A and B are shown apart, each in its own frame.
Chain A
Amino acid sequence: MSQITNILVCGVGGQGVMTATEILAEAAISLAFDVKKTEVAGMSQRGGVVTSHLRFGRVVLSPQIVPGEADLLIGFESAEALRWSHMLKPGGVALVNSGRIVPPVVNLGLFDYPEDPVAKMRALGLTVHAFDATTIATDLGNIRLGNTVMLGACADHLPFPAQVLRDAVLARFGTRKPHLVEANRQAFEAGRQAVGGDALAA
């Protein structure tokens, strides 16, 4: 089943994890892949844990990624990326927003937030590209651009050209929120450059 690409996107309810996965799915569909996408457990809309599984290939059967088989882990929040590290396959790549979202249980002093989740992931032997997507988005004027920054960062780690993903991002905003197209283009590029990618031609 090696022709299937497995992408696990994780984060916290309200961050736009589902939308980002949806856009990745749209990119894969535009290339005529068979695609399945599922969310896993948790009352995700209320600040809980969100994971979205995306699988595409010639034929996709189960929608779920088996632990240890994700090619790519896209972590919208650093502790969540650490939580789902075991989903990565040996040699897989993690793209992590180093920003933190601290839940009430930690605020109440009932649990600790891990010291440095990214360092911990690296110590486990994982390949991690970490960058502060939250700050990049805020600097571009809107914290909500964070998921486009994340998508930009993963654009060079997909089995298809980065251009295809960027088109999917812009197509979505082009129809729903045309005034945000330019901001999203910038956010996408900023994400790519944050992990060392070259600028795409406009």
Chain B
Amino acid sequence: MPVTQTVPAAARMFLSGNDAVARAVWEAGTRVAAAYPGTPSTEILEVLSRYPDLHTEWSVNEKVSMEVALGASMVGARAFCAMKHVGLNVASDALMTMTVTGTEGGLVIAVADDVGMSSSQNEQDSRYWGRFAHVPVLEPADSHEAYAMTLAAFELSERLKSPVILRLTTRICHVKGVVQTGERIEIEPAGFVKDPRHWVMVPGNAKPRLPSMFVREAAARAEAEISPLNFQVDGSDRRIGFVASGPTFMHVREAFPDAPVFKLGLSCPPPLESLRRFAGTVDSVLVVEETEPLLETEMKAAGIACHGKDVLPRIGELAPDVLEPAVRRLRGEVVPEPEHVPAQQVFPRPPTMCVACPHLGVYYTLSQMRNVIISGDIGCYTLGAGHPWNALDSCISMGASMGTALGMDKGRGKVDENKKVVAVIGDSTFMHMGMQGLLDITWNRGNVTVLLLDNRAVGMTGGQDNPGTGRDIHGEETPRVDFAKLCEALGVKSERIRVVDPYELPVLFKALREETKIEEPSVIITNRPCVLIDHYQPAKSYTVIEDRCTGCGNCVEVGCPAIHVTRRDKAVKASGKEVDLSFVRIETSACTGCGLCVQPCAPEAIVHADPVQSVQSVQFVRK
């Protein structure tokens, strides 16, 4: 199905930082844009894919997306790739050579740091990559700047023949503001110039190119000193002069409207001479940066006295409510108690898996198994670590469940001898970085059972496509990966590969028990789609017959958010043991009839909402 490619005309638009970057990438005449979805950067490519006149794609991982962008740049086209902070770790191998070759067509890398960790496994400061790779870093402070700096980044990239990092944070990506947009320019690529000394990075060619990085860095430094992206806001209260980059600039202006501020837009390499002059005009300098004391260290090394992380937190966002008390303390003032009502303690509301999510059955089953160590991965199925399943023992990074599981298997001592090692991974994650780990498991004869949860989507980021869905970013058909064959090609014996329906709990349980018993690599592939994608077909919903419900609570353990406890009670068993009872109700309007909760319900209290239809009784083996 071809997408409708209508582009809103140049206007005053209300855009998120991600929308604004996408708009500017398109306006800049970019021909190729690639990414792997990752919060908070995902929407950039989603929005771009709706624009005409450029190739957009989901790549299997961030390194590939960067390579695709570099290839386009080599032939003279403007190119773009986007990723979240942890994605740049994956892509760093390409980046560290790309910085030696340099670029032809303007190449911009948008990196979104999850400051405050809304949905990531770590909080890292990607500005370090700019220093590490000797490439310029631009840091917008809101949507309007994200738009303008993206355009500036392409020009800077072409001037310096260098990739340019556009550093975003969650508070840029997902904040909406008013942006004045323009029209697309068309740029005809100059064409590929065969020049092995430039593009073939064998030592003999790479060594003579290394100095170019430092020549470029010097040029960027000179540019930073005079760039309009770095500017000073004057203020009458000269007790503290602030140095800020990214969204912290807005927070500083908000909290201290009368203070002078030096704002860094082109922050790497930093304009140290301008900063030195600025420091000379105020009593003391406070560097406000998220998250690492990077500028602070650089300024101190240049002999510019300043405060920074001695008064501000090293983690999380530096919003006005954090800044204000810290600065007051620095000024030696007493911080008054707030006048408003204090924060109230209310139960936590962690994210949960969706109603009828095919992963529910997998984690319910895993939670019923004893003596397993479960190595987890990144995706919706990471939520299996939460209640009620508590069924993950580790989660490190994309695709790491495989290698971690192998290490657990090989490294375990006597105490863990009888345990089964299970690795859980999703379809997209498997192709992103998991395949190599599985290859390592088969090659090194690991005793690991892999649960490959194929829900035909990148679920966590909103159901994007991947090579396992048979569709590309535009929803158009492409070849579809056959996971069973792929696993076989990676060395798993065909009889050790099973495809099971995750809604059939007894079958799933049996498959897991059998495969974990056998001492060789095995793969169990589950085959139901994510409930958020178009291909999911809801069935007739269920309801609970109150009189039959014994309050055993087994269905609650499945973890479906459509099941609600209406009443709690206690009962004393014949053995004298006291048990908790939970009587339930199913939110019929939410239930999609997957039938999962029906299976562990021994008294058959859960029936189709339509009373005529009776439920098939399914025996569920409980350990």
A-side interface residues toward B, CB under 8 Å? Answer: 1, 12-13, 22, 25-26, 29, 34-39, 41-49, 60-64, 66-68, 79-80, 82-83, 85-90, 102-114, 117, 120, 124-126, 143
CB-CB < 8 A to A34: which residues of B? 177-178
Give complex CA distance A25, B143 in Å.
15
Partner of A86, one of B250, B319, B344, B561: B344
- B119 within 8 A of partner (CB): yes
Give min CB distance, A61 to chain B, whole Å. 4
**Contact digits for B566-588, partner A, Cβ 8 Å, 1 yes 0 no:** 00100000000000101000000
- B171 within 8 A of partner (CB): yes
- B346 within 8 A of partner (CB): yes
CB-CB < 8 A to B470: which residues of A? none
CB-CB < 8 A to B387: which residues of A? 104-105, 108, 110
For chain B, residues 428 to 485, give those with C-beta under 8 angstroms from any C-beta of chain A. Answer: 462
Give complex CA distance A101, B426 in Å.
29
Give complex CA distance A103, B556 in Å.
12
Contacts A1-B257, A42-B118, A63-B250; is A103 near B347 (CB within 8 Å)? yes
In contact, B582 and A109 (Cβ under 8 angstroms): yes
In contact, B338 and A68 (Cβ under 8 angstroms): yes
CB-CB < 8 A to B118: which residues of A? 41-43
In contact, A35 and B14 (Cβ under 8 angstroms): yes
- B353 within 8 A of partner (CB): yes
In contact, B349 and A47 (Cβ under 8 angstroms): yes
- B135 within 8 A of partner (CB): no
Give min CB distance, A55 to chain B, whole Å. 10
- B332 within 8 A of partner (CB): no
CB-CB < 8 A to A125: which residues of B? 341
In contact, A86 and B565 (Cβ under 8 angstroms): no
In contact, B119 and A43 (Cβ under 8 angstroms): yes
Give min CB distance, A137 to chain B, whole Å. 12
Instruction: Known A-B contacts: A46-B351, A102-B565, A104-B352. Give 9 more (CB < 8 A).
Output: A37-B175, A41-B118, A46-B383, A47-B351, A62-B255, A62-B319, A68-B339, A85-B344, A86-B341
CB-CB < 8 A to B171: which residues of A? 38, 63-64
In contact, B352 and A111 (Cβ under 8 angstroms): no
In contact, B254 and A38 (Cβ under 8 angstroms): no
Q: Which of under 10, 10 to 19, 20 to 34, or 35 or more describes the interface residues of B? A: 35 or more
In contact, A46 and B178 (Cβ under 8 angstroms): no
CB-CB < 8 A to B565: which residues of A? 102, 106-109
For chain B, residues 575 to 605, give those with C-beta under 8 angstroms from any C-beta of chain A. Answer: 580, 582, 589
CB-CB < 8 A to B342: which residues of A? 86
In contact, A113 and B347 (Cβ under 8 angstroms): yes
Contacts A1-B254, A46-B353, A62-B251; is A38 near B174 (CB within 8 Å)? yes
Partner of A42, one of B257, B321, B351: B351
In contact, A104 and B347 (Cβ under 8 angstroms): no
Contacts A38-B174, A79-B346, A125-B341; is A47 near B561 (CB within 8 Å)? yes
CB-CB < 8 A to A82: which residues of B? 344, 346
Give min CB distance, B363 to chain A, whole Å. 12
In contact, B563 and A107 (Cβ under 8 angstroms): yes
CB-CB < 8 A to B339: which residues of A? 68, 90
CB-CB < 8 A to A79: which residues of B? 346-347
CB-CB < 8 A to B346: which residues of A? 79-80, 82-83, 114, 117
CB-CB < 8 A to A49: which residues of B? 349
Q: Which residue of A lies closest to B40 (CB)?
A: A39
- B491 within 8 A of partner (CB): no
Main SS of chain A's interface residues?
mixed
Contacts A26-B14, A107-B563; is A36 near B175 (CB within 8 Å)? yes
Contacts A38-B175, A41-B118; is A68 near B340 (CB within 8 Å)? yes
Give complex CA distance A83, B349 in Å.
11
Give min CB distance, B124 to chain A, whole Å. 17
In contact, A64 and B564 (Cβ under 8 angstroms): no
Give complex CA distance A111, B568 in Å.
13
In contact, B344 and A105 (Cβ under 8 angstroms): no
In contact, B251 and A64 (Cβ under 8 angstroms): yes
Q: Which residue of B lies closest to A36 (CB)?
A: B177
Partner of A13, one of B320, B324, B351: B351
Give min CB distance, A143 to chain B, whole Å. 7
Give min CB distance, B453 to chain A, whole Å. 16
Q: Which residue of A lies closest to B320 (CB)?
A: A66
CB-CB < 8 A to B142: which residues of A? 36, 63
In contact, B177 and A67 (Cβ under 8 angstroms): no
- B189 within 8 A of partner (CB): no
Q: Which residue of B lies closest to A60 (CB)?
A: B177
CB-CB < 8 A to A67: which residues of B? 321, 338, 340, 343
- B272 within 8 A of partner (CB): no
In contact, B564 and A102 (Cβ under 8 angstroms): yes
CB-CB < 8 A to A35: which residues of B? 14, 176-178
Give complex CA distance A125, B341 in Å.
8
Can you list 27 pairs linking A and B with CB atoms under 8 Å apart? A25-B176, A26-B14, A34-B178, A35-B177, A36-B175, A37-B175, A37-B177, A46-B351, A48-B352, A61-B251, A62-B247, A63-B142, A79-B347, A83-B346, A85-B341, A85-B344, A88-B340, A103-B352, A104-B559, A105-B347, A106-B565, A107-B564, A107-B565, A109-B580, A112-B347, A117-B346, A125-B341
In contact, A36 and B176 (Cβ under 8 angstroms): yes
- B309 within 8 A of partner (CB): no
Give complex CA distance A39, B329 in Å.
29
Give complex CA distance A83, B343 in Å.
7
Give min CB distance, A146 to chain B, whole Å. 13
In contact, B341 and A12 (Cβ under 8 angstroms): no
CB-CB < 8 A to B253: which residues of A? 61-62
- B348 within 8 A of partner (CB): yes
Give complex CA distance A114, B345 in Å.
9
CB-CB < 8 A to A43: which residues of B? 118-119, 351
CB-CB < 8 A to B247: which residues of A? 62-63
Partner of B340, one of A39, A90, A105, A113: A90
- B350 within 8 A of partner (CB): yes
Give complex CA distance A49, B462 in Å.
17
Give min CB distance, A103 to chain B, whole Å. 5
In contact, B352 and A46 (Cβ under 8 angstroms): yes
CB-CB < 8 A to B589: which residues of A? 143
Give complex CA distance A126, B342 in Å.
12
CB-CB < 8 A to B320: which residues of A? 62, 64, 66
Partner of B568, one of A42, A85, A109: A109
Give min CB distance, A162 to chain B, whole Å. 21
- B500 within 8 A of partner (CB): no
- B116 within 8 A of partner (CB): yes
Q: Which residue of A lies closest to B355 (CB)?
A: A47
- B313 within 8 A of partner (CB): no
Give min CB distance, A176 to chain B, whole Å. 14
For chain B, residues 331 to 380, give those with C-beta under 8 angstroms from any C-beta of chain A. Answer: 338-344, 346-354, 380
Give complex CA distance A66, B254 in Å.
10
In contact, B388 and A108 (Cβ under 8 angstroms): yes
Give complex CA distance A61, B250 in Å.
5
